[in-house]
Structure 1
Amino acid sequence: MLESITVKSAATYDAKGIQIDSLRKINFLYGANGCGKTTLSKLIYSPADTVYSNCHLGWRGNLPVNALVYNKDFRERNFGKGKMDGVFTLGQATKEDINAIEKMQSELAEIKDKGIEKKHTLEKQEEIKSKGDNDFKEAVWVDIYKENEDEFREAFRGFMKKDSFRDKILYEFKSNKETLSTIKELKEKSQTIFGKIPTSLSLVSKIEFKRLLEIESDKILKNKIIGKADVSIAGLIQKLNLNDWVNEGRNYIAENEICPFCQQKTISENFKKQLEDYFDESFTKDTTRVKELSDEYNRLSQNLQSLLDQIESQQKSNSDSKLKIESFSALLKTLISQFVTNKELLGNKGKEPSRSIELVSTKVQLEDIQKLIDECNVEVKAHNDIVNDYTNQKNYLIRAIWKYLIEGHRGTIEAFMKKQEGLEKGIQVLQKQHKDLQENYIKLNKKIKEANKNVTSVQHSVDEINRTLKSYGFLNFEIVPSKKEPNQYQIQREDGSIAESTLSEGEATFISFLYYLQLTKGSTKEESITEERILVIDDPISSLDSNILFVVSSLIKEIIKSIKQNIGSIKQLILLTHNVYFHKEVSFVDGRTPKNGDTHYWIIRKNNSVSSIQAFEMKNPIQSSYELLWKELSNSSKNSGITIQNTMRRIIENYFKILGKYADDDLIKSFDNHQEQEICRSLVCWINDGSHGLPDDLYVEQQDAIIERYFEVFKQIFVKMGHEEHYKMMFRVLMDEKIDVA
């Protein structure tokens, strides 16, 4: 069934166009000539025409149905060539054959309805799945992409659109097997890999300080170096603790006999010998060793300090340095201070060998510095490994980032995938069921077509057309078989001449419509006579006289009745007309059914050469003048007393006087007693007076009370005359109008 029609940029329809929604089984579209009705019928007949490229037909379940369109083009196609194709119908088929075909048609319709329902369910499930997919897409975009795009933008390259990002999340969730890293690790690696393309770094030189520590702990530095104790002057020197002083003075007496201490010629060879014996070889050896240790320590510490200064300078200037430079500089500063102290102590020991000294241990500082260098070199090595294997390391980091992201949102992803998998399974089941129904439909439809071929007949359609023509007084022509071509028919007059070119316009219109009606029951092809179809009828009474108008409306009402009762292959009717009387006649069912859910109404209008449409749904917008009088009573509260009086007068005149041939006295005498008769007489006088004159002031002041009283008398006239049912029927119309207005 056709559910909607969209018409844009065609004929009198502009780019905005019109939308006809909620089409029902029976659809009446009224409009004046030239307002765009025929455009609608042509669109339905040929929707693929490029003229209607901006138009659209909305079919139930997206399943188009064969549309039989009756309009001027139909008449030209079928009667412009002087002959017509034969119409196959079930004709003289046996009751058993017809029942069998009808049963199969019923089964086919049931399969089709199930298919449409199944497709609707399938589309709904697909819509739910699509919505879930869109919701998930938005969620991961906001919660994952937006939250991490600054840190991991490089990992997101190629997936910076919502659809591709969602697909990447699902892919990584299923396939990523990387070890989970911390966010800190990922950020650190990202700075190296995702920054500028990294270059190799040099390892920081290791330091050697073993010998320095050995010197600092050498026992000789703690020993007091003094002369030989068994020499005569030893006692005095040691008693006075003049060991270092005397040793220093020896340098002055080697070539001089004057004592450097008393400045007298007191230095004898014996005294010299005692000094030499006191400061013997052992003393000389120890002091020499102290000097050597001091010189070596100064040299090693200076070299080490220079190396560390160089490392500090280089690493401070390297923005990619892995050395903890602040800690390194603090340790180096302390170390230099320790070196200064130890050098001073060693200098003192050289001057005063008898002094016991203990150097400041630099072990902790040097080991801490070495630890920083080792840590730095570990990172440099890792950095250089990345540089040397940049592509692999970058790919690994990207996988690690995706692993971290999906693990952080595992619950959301799992819930989505579980729901979507469930929906997908359901969709696959529905798709299979829908496919099975389609296959069953094709098989049964083929079977019906084969059955149709065996029982169809063209002659039945010809007989039906001729019978109808004779029934309605068209006696001077009939349909006869063509003598030249099979299944072709012509219109022949009583004298045997072909009547095609001599038919009046009204005759041609009527016979073409009868031919169309046979097509609605059958087909020009044997196998398709029982296929479902919709009818589109555009002004079928054009050029017909008033008598034929009622014939056509009667024939169409029979079709309407069968459609409503779901009998036969016709499933929908769209009727377009400009004739008010025909519209009123063909849309009238009975007085008891003013509205019907299977029937909808529209009016098409054209203003400034542009067509528009107004929907009235179940409410018939075309009413008779008599109905409009009753409708006028529904507005009694808004109208003057004069209007109401005139309305009541016209209703009574139309119904009782003109149609019923009753006089005023007949209405008055219908009341039982004299009092009631006088009340009725007063109503008649009131409505006649109000219709033909102006009331005085007093009369106007009492109008509300009078109107209310005479409404009741108005009703009683119908009751007393035996027409209460008519009053109730029309009053129901009146009340319906009130409800609609409310």
Structure 2
Amino acid sequence: MLESITIKGVATYDATGIQIDNLRKINFIYGTNGCGKTTLSKLIYNPTDMAFSDCDLAWKGNLPVNVLVYNKDFRERNFGKGKIDGVFTLGQATKEEIQAIDKMLLELEEIKNNGIEKKKTLEKQQEKKSQENNEFKEAIWLDIYKENENEFKEAFRGFMKKDSFRDKILEEFKNNEETLLTIQDLKEKSQTIFGRTPTILPLLSIIEFKKLLEIESDKIWNKKIIGKADVPIAGLIQKLNLNDWVNEGRNYITEDEICPFCQQKTISESFKRQLENFFDESFLQDITKVRTLSDEYTQGCQNLQNLLEQMELQQKGNPDSKLNIEQFSAFLRTLISQFVTNKELLGNKKKEPSRSIELFSTKEQLESIQNLIIESNKEITTHNDIVNDYTNQKNNLLKAIWKYLIEGHRATIETFIKKQEGLEKGIQILQQKHKDLQDKFVEINKKIREANKDVTSVQPSVDEINQILTSYGFLNFQIVPSKKEPNQYQIQREDGSVAESTLSEGEATFITFLYYLQLAKGSTNEESITEERILVIDDPISSLDSNVLFVVSSLIKEIVKTIKGNTGNIKQLILLTHNVYFHKEVSFVDGRTPKNGDTHYWIIRKNHNVSSIQAFEMENPIHSSYELLWKELSNSSKNSGITIQNTMRRIIENYFKILGRYADDDLIKSFVNHQEQEICRSLVCWINDGSHGLPDDLYIEQQDAVIDRYFEVFKQIFKKTGHIEHYNMMHRVVDEEKIA
């Protein structure tokens, strides 16, 4: 079952979004058109869509359930291909076969619930284990680390975080077999070994300078980069050696004819073309190469200089350095000087490409520095070989220190390990039980699929859809088997023609919804008709006639009853609608249970194109103007007879005439005998007269004597037409609000 929905960053839901928590078996979500209901249904249908990457569905026990979503997309998926997939149900199964499947389904449900409980217990055990772990970690951090931090700081290096320190304690407790020394012995040895002693020295980094040398020797620096010679203006530019000057001046040529050199109107289009031709593609490529290599060289020099200066600084402060720091510094100063000179030459080349330059080669200095580093590393290697024996002594001391610390807190460590082992054993048992339940679930589910396959049929679902269509006046089309493919059906007119493309919007919506209800009870796959599922219904009556509204609400209320009664394979319903009357009808089940713990209500609103949601839990928030009429009628003692007449008329018009399309004669004929019909007729005449006419004083005086009688007839109209539940519901809502 879905427990909560988070939707944000899509359509009318902003980055903050909304969260629908505490979802129950039955969930009614009201919202006007465009507020985001359909987006919500699309998220539930396909949460893996990239559009919903910031959204989330939270499932009970982290066990997703098959979701069947009814919205506009459902119709396009199932009725937009000229044929309809058959819906398998248990309609042809024997009573014994259905009972056998039901028994397995109950067993499957029990296994699933046990699995959820086992998982909760498992999570509690894991949480308890984690809590014990954290408490132990804090305890040894205070009692061991903090108490001995100054004394044995060298031993604690690398374990100065709580997690790593805990892991080290447990590792040493398990593996440390060193001889136990006294605290005095440990302190004396620590002063000797942890004092000023030779240590392993790291090797120096070998420098890379091949690329720098390649750039320094590139032929582009000797090349005079000038414009194209066969352009009319080339002769003058080259004769006066103005290549660089003219090239720089090109940057200042604008759309007008003003020359950036003489400030006269001498720049014609022909002159501009000659400049472009003079500084041709070859010129531009050379210029680009100069700039690219220059930037690369500058950056490479700076990186290498930084590396060498850092090495120089570190080695000067290292008393054990094996590097000939004096020669190193001398070579480095010369190298830096050469870098500076080359950078200046490169800057001149970039500014005046026609000049030929030759960069200083830094090869000698770089190789000299490299040789010093290589010689230093050879000495470091020799040094480290000598230190190795010292390292062994130090390691032995470190083991002795850990041994001392462990023995001083053995009871605490042993208690923790025993608790952890006990919890881990319990966790493993629970994990195995949970796995056994999962395996058993898979086994029984497989048996159910096989049993479904043996006793299912598509014909009962087709018969039921056609029967409902006929019962409610849809006589000019029905669902029939396809002649081409098995288990495929199509909508056909009485004359045999395919009706899908000619259905009205209301007809198409109604038959789509009936098909959806059959899918809710069955499946297009004969093996999975009894799988648990969740229904998400988005505005099923948006295109239906008002008289069909009651049919749809009645069908949904039957589903609501099965969900509340925990019968069948439908476990949860989420209904979204913008229709107040439909919401009122479908959310009312009987007059005795105005609130129910299995039912929750929400309203989605959109303000400034951003959707928000308000939860009402068990309190139905929808109050219509129609409901206000019932409130007014309940205050009959405070209203005149004329007001009561007008109120009764508006209720009958709203409920029976506008929504239900009942005429006055239909209401009158709903009574069995002639006398009751006349009483009803008199009521209709009375309320019409009171609401449309202007009675005289005598009639008004006699009005109070007949009000109570007509109240009873008013109630009987609802009873005789089969809508007494609606009458009771409206009275219940009004009475509850009076008490509140």
Q: Give TM-score scaled by structure 1 length.
A: 0.62
- Which residues of 2 match residues 417-566 of structure 1 at below 5 A? 417-566=417-566
Other-structure match for 1:12:
12
Other-structure match for 2:623:
623
d(CA) in 2 for partners of 1:76, 1:134: 55
Please say if 1:124 is aligned against 2:127: no
**Cα gap change, 1:623/1:134 in structure 2, threshold over 3 Å: closer, same or farther?**
same
- Which residues of 2 match residues 714-729 of structure 1 at below 5 A? 729=732
d(CA) in 2 for partners of 1:140, 1:53: 43
Other-structure match for 2:379:
none
Q: Report the 3-state secondary structure (helix = DSSP H, G, I; strand = E; otherwise coil) of the residue aligned with 1:190.
A: helix
Asked if the contact 2:591/2:729 (under 8 Å) is kept, the reply is no
The structure 2 residue matched to 1:733, chosen from 731, 736, 739, is: 736
**Cα gap change, 1:150/1:567 in structure 2, threshold over 3 Å: closer, same or farther?**
same
Asked if the contact 1:6/1:19 (under 8 Å) is kept, the reply is yes
**Cα gap change, 1:400/1:442 in structure 2, threshold over 3 Å: closer, same or farther?**
same
Other-structure match for 1:324:
none
AA of the residue aligned to 1:597: G
d(CA) in 1 for partners of 2:730, 2:625: 16
- Which residues of 2 match residues 27-426 of structure 1 at below 5 A? 27-197=27-197, 389-426=389-426
Could you tell me how far 1:187 is from its partner in structure 2? 3.0
AA of the residue aligned to 2:471: S
d(CA) in 1 for partners of 2:32, 2:388: 85
d(CA) in 1 for partners of 2:565, 2:730: 30
**Cα gap change, 1:657/1:412 in structure 2, threshold over 3 Å: closer, same or farther?**
same
Could you tell me how far 1:94 is from its partner in structure 2? 0.8
Could you tell me how far 1:542 is from its partner in structure 2? 1.3
Asked if the contact 1:632/1:647 (under 8 Å) is kept, the reply is no
Could you tell me how far 1:192 is from its partner in structure 2? 2.5
**Cα gap change, 1:604/1:726 in structure 2, threshold over 3 Å: closer, same or farther?**
closer
Could you tell me how far 1:597 is from its partner in structure 2? 0.3
Could you tell me how far 1:120 is from its partner in structure 2? 1.2
Q: Report the 3-state secondary structure (helix = DSSP H, G, I; strand = E; otherwise coil) of the residue aligned with 1:527.
A: coil
Q: Deviations over 1:76-133 (max 9, x none)?
A: 0001111111111112111111111111111111111111111111111111212222
AA of the residue aligned to 1:439: D
Could you tell me how far 1:37 is from its partner in structure 2? 0.8
Unpaired stretches in structure 1, ≥5 consecutive residues? 200-385, 637-642, 667-680, 685-713
Could you tell me how far 1:171 is from its partner in structure 2? 1.5
**Cα gap change, 1:644/1:177 in structure 2, threshold over 3 Å: closer, same or farther?**
farther
AA of the residue aligned to 1:456: T
Q: Deviations over 1:418-472 (max 9, x none)?
A: 2222211111111111111111111111011111111110111111111111011
Rg (Cα) greater in structure: 1
Q: Deviations over 1:347-381 (max 9, x none)?
A: xxxxxxxxxxxxxxxxxxxxxxxxxxxxxxxxxxx
**Cα gap change, 1:650/1:424 in structure 2, threshold over 3 Å: closer, same or farther?**
farther
Could you tell me how far 1:33 is from its partner in structure 2? 1.1
d(CA) in 2 for partners of 1:517, 1:560: 12
d(CA) in 1 for partners of 2:405, 2:187: 13
Asked if the contact 2:590/2:729 (under 8 Å) is kept, the reply is no
**Matched length:** 502
Q: Report the 3-state secondary structure (helix = DSSP H, G, I; strand = E; otherwise coil) of the residue aligned with 2:463.
A: helix
Asked if the contact 1:490/1:498 (under 8 Å) is kept, the reply is yes
d(CA) in 2 for partners of 1:633, 1:469: 37
Asked if the contact 1:90/1:455 (under 8 Å) is kept, the reply is yes
**Cα gap change, 1:434/1:8 in structure 2, threshold over 3 Å: closer, same or farther?**
same
d(CA) in 2 for partners of 1:70, 1:64: 18
d(CA) in 1 for partners of 2:179, 2:23: 62
**Cα gap change, 1:452/1:388 in structure 2, threshold over 3 Å: closer, same or farther?**
closer
Q: Report the 3-state secondary structure (helix = DSSP H, G, I; strand = E; otherwise coil) of the residue aligned with 2:491.
A: strand
d(CA) in 2 for partners of 1:15, 1:583: 30
AA of the residue aligned to 2:464: E
AA of the residue aligned to 1:622: I
Asked if the contact 2:31/2:577 (under 8 Å) is kept, the reply is yes
d(CA) in 2 for partners of 1:658, 1:539: 24
d(CA) in 1 for partners of 2:449, 2:7: 35
d(CA) in 1 for partners of 2:402, 2:644: 84
Could you tell me how far 1:725 is from its partner in structure 2? 9.4
Q: Deviations over 1:382-431 (max 9, x none)?
A: xxxx9894222211221122222223333332232222222111111111
**Cα gap change, 1:628/1:155 in structure 2, threshold over 3 Å: closer, same or farther?**
farther
Unpaired stretches in structure 2, ≥5 consecutive residues? 200-385, 653-679, 688-700, 717-726
Could you tell me how far 1:655 is from its partner in structure 2? 6.6
d(CA) in 2 for partners of 1:647, 1:598: 42
Please say if 1:612 is aligned against 2:615: no
Other-structure match for 1:372:
none
Other-structure match for 2:202:
none
Asked if the contact 1:30/1:602 (under 8 Å) is kept, the reply is yes
**Cα gap change, 1:111/1:408 in structure 2, threshold over 3 Å: closer, same or farther?**
same
d(CA) in 1 for partners of 2:489, 2:715: 55
d(CA) in 2 for partners of 1:650, 1:48: 57
AA of the residue aligned to 1:513: F
AA of the residue aligned to 1:733: E
Could you tell me how far 1:646 is from its partner in structure 2? 7.3
Q: Report the 3-state secondary structure (helix = DSSP H, G, I; strand = E; otherwise coil) of the residue aligned with 2:131.
A: helix
Other-structure match for 1:265:
none
d(CA) in 2 for partners of 1:558, 1:662: 34
d(CA) in 2 for partners of 1:57, 1:558: 27
Q: Deviations over 1:194-214 (max 9, x none)?
A: 333259xxxxxxxxxxxxxxx
Q: Report the 3-state secondary structure (helix = DSSP H, G, I; strand = E; otherwise coil) of the residue aligned with 1:491.
A: strand
Asked if the contact 2:556/2:586 (under 8 Å) is kept, the reply is yes
Could you tell me how far 1:181 is from its partner in structure 2? 2.9
**Cα gap change, 1:731/1:7 in structure 2, threshold over 3 Å: closer, same or farther?**
closer
Q: Give TM-score scaled by structure 2 length.
A: 0.62
**Cα gap change, 1:631/1:424 in structure 2, threshold over 3 Å: closer, same or farther?**
farther
Could you tell me how far 1:519 is from its partner in structure 2? 0.4
Q: Report the 3-state secondary structure (helix = DSSP H, G, I; strand = E; otherwise coil) of the residue aligned with 1:424.
A: helix
d(CA) in 1 for partners of 2:607, 2:616: 19
Other-structure match for 1:589:
589
**Cα gap change, 1:175/1:655 in structure 2, threshold over 3 Å: closer, same or farther?**
farther
Q: Report the 3-state secondary structure (helix = DSSP H, G, I; strand = E; otherwise coil) of the residue aligned with 2:149.
A: helix
AA of the residue aligned to 1:132: E
Q: Report the 3-state secondary structure (helix = DSSP H, G, I; strand = E; otherwise coil) of the residue aligned with 2:527.
A: helix
d(CA) in 1 for partners of 2:711, 2:475: 46
**Cα gap change, 1:495/1:46 in structure 2, threshold over 3 Å: closer, same or farther?**
same
Could you tell me how far 1:166 is from its partner in structure 2? 1.6
AA of the residue aligned to 1:562: T
**Cα gap change, 1:730/1:598 in structure 2, threshold over 3 Å: closer, same or farther?**
closer
Asked if the contact 1:480/1:489 (under 8 Å) is kept, the reply is yes
Could you tell me how far 1:141 is from its partner in structure 2? 2.9
